[in-house]
Structure 1
Amino acid sequence: MCDPRFSDVHETDGGQVEAHLAPAVRLHHVPSDGFTVHVHRVTQGPVSVEETRGTDGVRITLEGEPSYVVGLPLRKPVHAVHGRRELDLSPGQAAVFAPPVETTMGTPDQFDVVLVRVGPGALEGALESLLGRAVRRPLPLATTVALGTTAGQAWAGVVRSVAGAVPGTTSILGNPLGRAHVQDALLAGLLYATGHPDRDALDVPVLTWGPRKVRECLDLIEAHPERLLTSGTLAAHADMSVRALEGCWRRERDVLPRQDVERVRLRRAHRDLEAHRPGRRRSRT
């Protein structure tokens, strides 16, 4: 799991801001006294969360990006044009801009907008891991994300947490295991929150196996606590879908796999600290 990348830009010249934005993004504004714009971007694996705040209204153009882009206005309404579709988005609403169609977003003064980008193939890979079978590529997503639903609220909460993340060990992205879970939550959360051809399949109950599969994965966790083991990697080890493995885990352990991974890693870290505590005699072999 790669380390997160952080980028912060604070400018009074929109032309200078463009030099720090993604290659396919253009920012247009009418110069005025006191104009400022701040862009904070966090990239974790194939997903990036970019929050842009400004004093004056701007026009943001996404010029045929290869990624899925989800736009979330946080403070004031935003007008978006995606291909031939026009959308008026209020805070609490989000729109999906599928590649590679050009998109333009117009903001009012004192705006605050988050753009979530998902790299090509990442969303389909996450869905295949959840379902345990191949899915359509590219995945056609619905135009909007319903942030008022339970799934939508949960996903938007993760997005806001990542948008506010800063470098450091206390951050939501401060350790490798946390980064893996956040990346999974961003991908799986979007798949649960928006419409697509396999959305109903995510709600269909899955068959679960006996405890043997769970024990095999627990043995792997105990034997290799240094590995970055997620629900996805454990499901692949057990030759199961993520949903099936998590169903087995809940039934047998009453927790999710990541909680057992964290427990074993913390126990091993505590043991190592105890072994190297000053004044403690180390046993000879």
Structure 2
Amino acid sequence: METLRFDSDDLERTEEFLSQAYARMRIGNGTPDSSRARIHRSAIDSVSVDELDLDFDMSYAVTPLGRICLCVVHEGTIEDHVYQGVSDSFGPGDVVSFAPPELSYAGRVHAARYNITMLDPDLLTQVASTADTRRPEPVRLTGHRPLSPAAGDRLRSTIRYVQDHVLADAAVADQPLVASTAAQHLAATVLATFPNTAVTDPTGPDRHDAHPAALRRALAYIDDHADRPLTVAQIAEAAHISVRALQYAFRRHLDSTPLAYVRQVRLSHAHDELAAADPEDGSTVTDIAARWGFYHPGRFATLYRHAYDRSPRRTLHDG
């Protein structure tokens, strides 16, 4: 996990830092008597989460980031935010996508405290697909505002969840399965929040391909690779079907989802490791759970009790 802190009242240093942290940009100060910028970044693999606190009014002009850039405004306002074909302003509580990854944008920050979450656009394609599976296109967002206030609330909660239960503990965040699971969870929530090009309903060919043999290939691949980061797209490729066909096969034959099955297999491995571990050697429930991609101790304990009718701590100590 990468962490970074910046605290300065030097505008040139702030511009240099922001250009390195995001993309090349120009900033200007509309309140010369104040120029304090405080920024904290935490990052895992393809996701970074920044908290910014600016006590001055700042204009910005940013070259394309090449990443999906989400903004949650806590205090203050962001005004006259523009990119190709869009002009908007944001206030406290708003959650937005700043601009498509390939476009530049500009605007003004008015003494604001806000969150910037950036993720690799490829994450969207790892959890969903577009209509034409013969010539796959990357999944893209087609709007910058949430589909509904409830959708925006869910995304805001997901970002906070990643902050509080992944990025708050470097030992947890550095676990490869945790990083992969958290990134996919965030990407899936982004797709549920904003208009996009993903197609979720299975087509006729998808239904035809969702046969038991394809499902068996998917299950075998998951069983053999559960100790590695897995995406829905990888599982679908191993099963020789589309992402939609894979998801339909799991719904039709198992009344489940691919990632729910991955979680079930990893829970079984965590159970085996807990039963074999010796707490006298320093083994802990939290460490073992994180090694298998479970980064919320309370949620892991709930899943574990449901599956094994006992607490993970009891398994660790009783064997």
TM-score tier after normalising by the smaller chain length: 0.7 to 0.9
Alignment of 1:116-195 (within 5 A): 116-119=117-120, 123=124, 127-128=128-129, 132-136=133-137, 141-146=141-146, 148-163=148-163, 165-170=167-172, 173=173, 175-195=175-195
Letter matched to residue 102 of structure 1: S
Q: Distance in 2 between matches of 1:255 and 1:141?
A: 26
Equivalent residue number for residue 308 of structure 2: none
CA contact (8 A) 1:60 1:104 kept: yes
Q: How many residues align?
A: 269
- Indicate how the Cα distance of structure 1 residues 213 and 169 shifts in structure 2: closer, same or farther if over 3 A, else same: farther
What's the CA shift for 1:238? 1.0
* Alignment-derived partner of residue 6 in structure 2: 9
Rate the CA distance shift 1:31–1:188 in 2: closer, same or farther, 3 A.
Answer: same
Please give the root-mean-square deviation of Cα atoms over the aligned residues, in Å. Answer: 3.5
- Residue 235 of structure 2 aligns to which amino acid in structure 1? L
TM-aligned CA deviation for residue 53 of structure 1 = 1.7
Report the TM-score when normalising by structure 1. Answer: 0.74
Matches of residues 1-285 of structure 1 in structure 2 within 5 Å? Answer: 4-21=1-18, 22=21, 23-29=23-29, 30-32=31-33, 35-79=35-79, 80-83=81-84, 85-90=86-91, 91-109=93-111, 111-119=112-120, 123=124, 127-128=128-129, 132-136=133-137, 141-146=141-146, 148-163=148-163, 165-170=167-172, 173=173, 175-196=175-196, 198-199=197-198, 201-203=199-201, 207=207, 209-275=210-276, 277=278
Give how far 1:105 is off.
Answer: 2.7
Structure 1 stretches of 5 or more lacking a match?
280-285
Give the TM-score normalised by structure 2: 0.68
- Whole-angstrom CA distance in 1 between matches of 2:248 and 2:171: 31
Distance 1:12 1:141, change over 3 A: same
Give yes or no for contact 1:217–1:237 (8 Å, CA) kept in 2.
Answer: yes
Quote the Cα distance in structure 1 between the aligned partners of 2:269 and 2:258. Answer: 17
Classify the secondary structure of the residue corresponding to 2:200.
helix
* Secondary structure of 1:52's aligned partner: strand
1:76, 1:203 → 2: CA distance? Answer: 40
Unaligned runs of 5+ in 2: 281-319
